[in-house]
Amino acid sequence: MRWLLLKDLQILRRSPLLVGLLIVYPVVISLLIGFALSRGPDKPKVALLNLVPAESNSFELGNQRIDASRYAERLFDSVDPVRVTTRAQALEAVKSGEALAALIVPADITEKLSTGLESAEVEVIYNNEDPVKGRLVDQIINSRLADANAALADKFREIAVQDIGLLLDGGEFNLFGRELNILGLKKTKTILDATLASLPPNASQRAPLRRVADFAGLAVANLNLATDVVGTVSQPVRVKRTAIQGKRTPLSAYAVAISVTVSLMFLTVLLASGMLALEREENAFARLVRGLVSRGALLGEKIGLAAGCAFAVSLAMLCGLGLFVDLEWGRFPLWVAALAAGAIAFAAMGVAIGALAREVRAASLLAFLLSLPIAFLAIVPNGSVSDGLYDVIRVISALFPFKPTLQAMDQALNDTGRGFGAPLGHLLALAVAFGALARLALRRFG
C-alpha cells in the first residue's frame, strides 16, 4: 500500500495544473460561500406572544390616543407570524424548529410607552444552534423594529412638538374630556411686560412680576430649542435577546468553519473519486487486484491519500484564516481532530463515488453534483422552510458528511457547547458506510 501511495503522490506531483485547480477552486468557492452567508429567506416563521390585553392596545400620550397594534404590525411585514398564547408555547415553537424565533410583547409595553419617558422592551427568543440563524433573526428583528421605532418616534416627536407649541403659543387643550384654553408662555410674557410697564416705578409688585416675566422669556427661548432635542428620541422599543441553545458564535468564525468544511469536502471527494477511477482508466485495477493488492487495501490507500492531502491543505487554510479572523488557537488539537474525521468520511464518500462512476470525468461530475447541494442543504436553518421540507433536508444532510463535519468544525473552532462526540461518531459511521458501498461497487469496477 505504501508503494501505491508513493505512486499516487508522484502522479499528483507531475500534474501541477490538476493539483492547483483542486486546491484553488475549493478554497475560492468555500470562501465565497462562507463569507456570503448573510441573507436568509424572505418570510421566515416567527412565533408571536402578545401579552398586551386587548383593551390596553391603545394608550394616551399627551392629549392623543396611539394605537400600538398599528406599529406592531410593522414587525410582521417580513415574517410569517405563528400566534402562541404562552411563553412555554413560544419556547417550544423555537426549540422544535417550527419557528425561527419568538417575539414576546410584554403586558406593560403600552404602559411604558405611554409615559413617553421610558423605553419599552420586547423579548426575542431564538435557537442559537447556528450563527447563520442568529444573524438572520438579528437582521429581521432589527430591521422591522427599526421601522416600528422610527414610526413611533415620529409620532412621539409630533405630539411633543405640538405640546411644546401649545405651551409656547397657547390654544385649545383637552384634559380628561374638558376643553381648556391655554394662554401660552409668549402671551403670558406680553401680558406681564405690559403690566410691568403700567406699574409705578416703586410699586411693590414690580420685582416679583419682573422675575415671572424673566422666567417666561427664558422658557420661550429654551422651549424653542427643545423641539429639536425631542426629535432625537428614536428608540421607544428595545429588544432583549434570549438564546435557548448553544453559545453565540461570531459569524466570522462560523464562516471560517463553513469555508474550511467546503474546501475539505471538495478536495477530498474529488481527489478520492478521481484517483480511484484513474486506476481503472489506466487499466491497472485488474492487474493490481490480481494478487498484488486487495480491493480493501486499494480503497484504504485512496482514502488515506485523499484524506491526508486534503487534511494538510485545509489545516494550512485554517491556520491562514486564523491570522485574519479571531480564532481560539488553544483549541488547535480539536481543529485537527475535526478535520481528520471529516477528511476520512469525505474520502470514503469519494471512493464510493469513484467506484460507482468508474471513469475520472464521470466521477468528478458526480462529485460536484453531489457536493454542492449537500453543502447548501446542510446550512439551511430550521424554521426558514416548512417543517416537512426541513425534515427531508435533515435526513439528506445526515446521509452525507458535510453537516457533521461542519458541526465538528464549529464545535472545534467556537465551542458551541453541543459536544464533539456526536458529530465524530456520525462521521465514523458514514466513513464505514461509504467504505462498504465502495467495496461493493468495486465488484463491477474492473
Q: Please report, as ranges, the residues that interact with other proteins according to CB under 8 A.
A: 3-4, 7, 10-11, 14-15, 282-284, 286-288, 290-293, 446
Residue placing its CB nearer to other proteins in the complex, 297 or 393: 297
Q: How far is the CB of 286 from other proteins (least distance, A)?
A: 6
Q: How far is the CB of 138 from other proteins (least distance, A)?
A: 52
Q: How far is the CB of 3 from other proteins (least distance, A)?
A: 4
Q: How far is the CB of 298 from other proteins (least distance, A)?
A: 11
Handedness of CA 174, 179, 183, 186 (dihedral sign): positive
Grid cell for residue 201: 416705578
How many CB atoms are closer than 10 A to CB 234?
Answer: 13
DSSP code per residue over 138-160:
HHHHHHHHHHHHHHHHHHHHHHH
For 417, counting Cβ atoms within 10 Å of its Cβ (0-12 exposed, 13-18 middle, 19+ buried), the class is: exposed
Residue with cell 406599529: 71
Residue placing its CB nearer to other proteins in the complex, 16 or 177: 16
Residue placing its CB nearer to other proteins in the complex, 140 or 355: 355
101-105 and 120-126 as β-strands: parallel, antiparallel, unpaired? antiparallel
The conformation of residue 247, written as its DSSP 8-state character, comes to: P
Residue placing its CB nearer to other proteins in the complex, 211 or 361: 361
Give the closest residue to 364 by CA, choosing from 372, 354, 373, 356.
354
Where residue 48 falls (left for φ over 0; alpha for ψ -120 to 50; beta otherwise) is beta
Residue placing its CB nearer to other proteins in the complex, 192 or 278: 278
Residue placing its CB nearer to other proteins in the complex, 238 or 361: 361
Residue placing its CB nearer to other proteins in the complex, 178 or 290: 290
Grid cell for residue 18: 490538476
For 6, counting Cβ atoms within 10 Å of its Cβ (0-12 exposed, 13-18 middle, 19+ buried), the class is: exposed
Q: How far is the CB of 289 from other proteins (least distance, A)?
A: 9
Q: How far is the CB of 10 from other proteins (least distance, A)?
A: 6
Q: How far is the CB of 6 from other proteins (least distance, A)?
A: 8
Query: Can you tell me whether residue 125 is helix, strand or coil?
Result: strand
Q: How far is the CB of 15 from other proteins (least distance, A)?
A: 7
How many CB atoms are closer than 10 A to CB 106?
Answer: 17
Residue placing its CB nearer to other proteins in the complex, 11 or 372: 11
d(CA 446, CA 442) in angstroms, rounded, equals: 7
